[in-house]
Amino acid sequence: MTTHQKKGAWRTGGCHCGAVRFDVRTPDEIELVDCNCSMCHRTGYLHLIVGAKDFRLTRGADKITTYTFNTGAAKHLFCAVCGVKSFYVPRSHPDGYSVNFRCLDAPDSFASVSTTEFDGREWEKNAGDLAPLESR
């Protein structure tokens, strides 16, 4: 899995009710990950994975609740008001964030968006297919 290394603009996003808001810096050409694990499949989550330096929580730290399961490595962060998970700390990239592309304010502002499927049902077997943050 590859991604473009040029950093683009800061973009905004948030949960449904607006209690949680964030900025994320991304290239203008991005690759999303569509995972079929038990969590992502049920929520329709489209992963835009970024390093911690490319993510800023701008509002709502006090409105975030955390859910963990299985290994407890992933920190699923939800708005305690509306229940939307607009970003989280993924197991695959614990020093970064996965932003839900569907929670960005202007998803049509990208020059190019591609999506790669990831077999998260077999996470242990396929985790090595995910690109490291250093290449992003």
Q: In CATH, what number does 11-117 get?
A: 2.170.150.70
CB atoms within 10 A of CB 1: 12
pLDDT given at position 47: 92
pLDDT given at position 51: 93
CA-nearest of 89, 115, 111 to 101 is 115
Which residues does the chain have with pLDDT short of 50?
1-5
pLDDT given at position 69: 87
Please give the model's pTM, rounded to 2 decimal places.
Answer: 0.84
- Distance, CA of 6 to CA of 14 (rounded, Å): 24
pLDDT given at position 2: 35
